[in-house]
Structure 1
Amino acid sequence: MKKNILNTGILVVLIMVFMACEKKDSNNPHEMHWDRDMCVRCKMVISNRKHAVQVINPESNKVYKFDDLGCAIKWFRENDIGWEDNAKIWITDVKSGKWIDAKKAYYDTTHNTPMAYGFSANEKKQSITDNTSEVLDFNEVKKRILERKKQ
C-alpha cells in the first residue's frame, strides 16, 4: 500500500515538472501589464486596450510592446530590424480589445490612437461601418506610417 502511494506521488511530481517545463507557444500574445508596460519606442505607459501592439521576434521569442501601431512600424525602421518580415505582430481589435494578427487585420481611419497615427485594427472588414473611413490592409497602413514625417 505504501509503495503504491509513493509511486503515485512520484508520478504526480514528474507530471508537474514536465508540465512546468513545457514550452509555451511563443507566437501567441503575451500577458500585457496595462498601465505598467511601456512602449519600446516612445516610452509611454500602455493604457489603451484598443490600440496596443506586441511584436514577437521569431528567432529569440522576445516580446516588444507598443502603445500604437505607428510606434511599432517606425521602431522596425529606426532600428533596422532584420527579422521584420518574419515577426509575429499582434494588435488589439478596436471594438473588442481581442488580440488579432496585425498582418491580417483590416484598418479604419476614424479613431484617435495613443500616438495619433490614426489606424485602428478590426478583425473583420464588416466591422468597419463608418462610411467616412477608409478600409486599409496592413501593407497600406505600414506605407502611410513610414511616409509621415518624424513623430
Structure 2
Amino acid sequence: MKKYNYLILLLLVFFSMGCEVKVDTTAKEIKWDREICQRCKMIISNRNYAVQIINPTNGERFYFDDIGCMVVWFKEEKLNWENEAIIYISDATTGEWLNAKEAYWVYGAITPMAFGFSAYKFEVEGKTNHKFSYVKEKILGSL
C-alpha cells in the first residue's frame, strides 16, 4: 500500500511542475483615453509620460499618467513587491516602452501631474541625465 502512496505523491509532484504559470512581463499598449491612473484616477491620454507596472508574482498590471504618481502610489500602498516590480515608461520622444530602471531621466518637462521627469532611451545631449534611483529620491523628497 505504501508503494502506491509514493507513486501518487510522485505523480502529483510531476503534474504540479508541468502546471507552472508563466507571468507575462512584456509591455502592453495602453488603451489611451480609457485607462485610468491607479493613483490620481485621471484618464491617461498623454503618451509621452505614461507608466505601466507589473507585479512579477501574479502579472497584475497598473497604469499611471506620470512617474510621480507611481512612486507616490508605492509609498502610500506600502506594497512589498516594489523592488521586484517591472516598470515601463514611455520614451518622451518616440513613445516606445522602456525599462524605467534603465532609462535616462531628465528633469524640466511639463508632465501630467507636474512631477517634471521625462524618460529617454538614449542620453539627452545638453541636459543632465539622471538614473531612476535619483528620480524616486527627488519625488519622495518633494512630498
Q: TM-score, normalised by structure 1?
A: 0.78
Does the Cα contact within 8 Å between 2:23 and 2:58 map onto a contact in 1? Answer: no
| Moved beyond 2 Å, runs of 4+ | none
1:63 aligned residue: 61
- Structure 2 letter corresponding to 1:145: I
2:138 to 118, 139, 144: 144
3-state secondary structure, aligned to 1:76: helix
Unaligned runs of 5+ in 2: 1-20
- Write the distance in 2 (CA, Å) between the matches of 1:49 and 1:25: 25
Query: Between Structure 1 and Structure 2, how many residues are aligned?
Result: 123
- Write the distance in 2 (CA, Å) between the matches of 1:25 and 1:52: 22
What is the deviation of 1:25? 6.0
List aligned pairs for 1:36-115, cutoff 5 A: 36-115=34-113
Q: What CA RMSD, in Å, does the superposition of the two structures yield over aligned residues?
A: 1.3
Unaligned runs of 5+ in 1: 1-22
- Structure 2 letter corresponding to 1:113: T
- Write the distance in 2 (CA, Å) between the matches of 1:48 and 1:89: 17
**Percent identity over the alignment?**
43
Q: TM-score, normalised by structure 2?
A: 0.82
- Write the distance in 1 (CA, Å) between the matches of 2:117 and 2:22: 31
